[in-house]
Amino acid sequence: MPKSTIQRKYFRTPFCAEYWRQAFSELKNTRMLVFAALVLALRIAMKPLRIPVATDVNISFGFIINALGSMVYGPVVGLLSGALSDSLGYLIAPNGVYFFPFILLEMGGSFIFALFLYSTDITPLRLILSKLCVNLFINILLNEPIMVLYYRDVLHLATYHPFVLIRIVKNIIMLPIEGLLLMIVFKAMIPALARSGFHPAGRVALDFTKRHIALLCAMLVIGIGALTGYLIYDYNTKSFSADYTTQERLKKNQAMNEWVVAEKPTLKAENTVTVIESARSKVGAKEMTYELAVYRVDTEKFDERKADNYTLTTLNSYSKSKASKDDTLVRIGTGTAVTDKGTISETNPVGDHISLELTMTWNGETNP
């Protein structure tokens, strides 16, 4: 491929007819289309590469390839590249059920990067703003309704909740990291692109100034603050019981059942099952609060089903959902138990007792 420097007119904004005539002309440039194909292949290859940072927060690198390519070939070829990236990416590495509207996310990301970076001066501020707009308009505002449609029309579920805090926080957290990565990679790659004739390096101003460093530091502080706030919120609202293994659940349910039976002597341990429905504790709190469901074992149904894989141990290892679906268990009460979080151990599965409040139902009547 012979080297030939791209001759372009530069624009302050994309809001003029000449800008778009130049962008459409890239479709007739064979060399540019070959470059776009190479970028597309690399973009698809980079999709699975992720570095986990925290729960549901990962650093991916496909956006860097997308931004570099969009800077070179512009918004029109970028839309085409985005469409092919989604379709070919699914054909090469299928993940779930194909859903056509997802193509809008890939196309939208390429389009926004191109609007900020194609045929204009490349500065740290432009790079940061381009990623900010992709995070806001594509990853949040466009992605959420598409996911709602996907869950409803493809998976036939109504469990996807749009604009959940973690997805918004994730994009805030990642912005300073992604902005810094874009600056580093663009500063390293633009000279190489210029030597290959794909970018006039004279229109680049990626030297770090004090202002840019201050901006990155401010973004990093915001990101760290958002992450800290989310972690505190997540810890304060999560149910630890959701992460119990079967063995952990068995031990904790049995230990709690002993406490309940001791509190209510009318209950018999051999036909009472207590299930921990949730376990919550706030940051800095010394207590763990358990929400309980107390069940009576229907002995007739239990004896009919009793087998090697269906015993009292099976019932005692139930989670909230499993217990509610097994008609061998008759719900007779609820309760709230508070224990010393610092004393929870292998030998003391629920911790030292602090308080237990039970509300029991006997023959249709509620009794404390």
Q: How confident is residue 69, by pLDDT bands cut at 50, 70 and 90? A: very high
**Averaged over 315-336, what is the pLDDT?**
93
Q: Which two tokens stand for residue 55?
A: 């729960």
> Is the pLDDT at 365 greater than 50, yes or no?
no
Query: What pLDDT is stored for residue 257 in this prediction?
Result: 94
Q: Which domains does the chain have, with CATH numbers?
A: 17-237 (1.10.1760.20), 240-367 (no CATH)
Question: For 281-303, how does the pLDDT look when each residue is reduced to its tens digit (9 = 90+)?
Answer: 998 899 999 999 999 999 889 88
**Averaged over 303-326, what is the pLDDT?**
88
> Is the pLDDT at 76 greater than 90, yes or no?
yes
Contact between 256 and 350 (Cβ < 8 Å): yes
Q: How confident is residue 367, by pLDDT bands cut at 50, 70 and 90? A: very low
**Averaged over 262-267, what is the pLDDT?**
89
> Is the pLDDT at 207 greater than 80, yes or no?
no
Q: Cα(203)–Cα(9) distance, rounded to whole angstroms?
A: 11
Question: For 156-185, how does the pLDDT look when each residue is reduced to its tens digit (9 = 90+)?
Answer: 776 666 666 677 777 887 888 888 889 889
Q: Residue 10 carries which side chain, given as an amino acid letter?
A: Y
**Averaged over 346-356, what is the pLDDT?**
93
**Averaged over 151-160, what is the pLDDT?**
75
Q: What is the mean pLDDT of the chain?
A: 85
Query: What pLDDT is stored for residue 366 in this prediction?
Result: 46
Contact between 241 and 253 (Cβ < 8 Å): no
> Is the pLDDT at 3 greater than 60, yes or no?
no
> Is the pLDDT at 215 greater than 80, yes or no?
no
Q: Cα(202)–Cα(206) distance, rounded to whole angstroms?
A: 11
**Contacting residues for 348 by C-beta, under 8 A, at least 6 apart:** 255
Closest CA to 35 of 197, 204, 203, 183: 197
Of residues 37 and 361, which shows the higher confidence score? 37
- Output DSSP code: residue 7: P
DSSP string, 339-355: EEGGG--SSSTT-EEEE
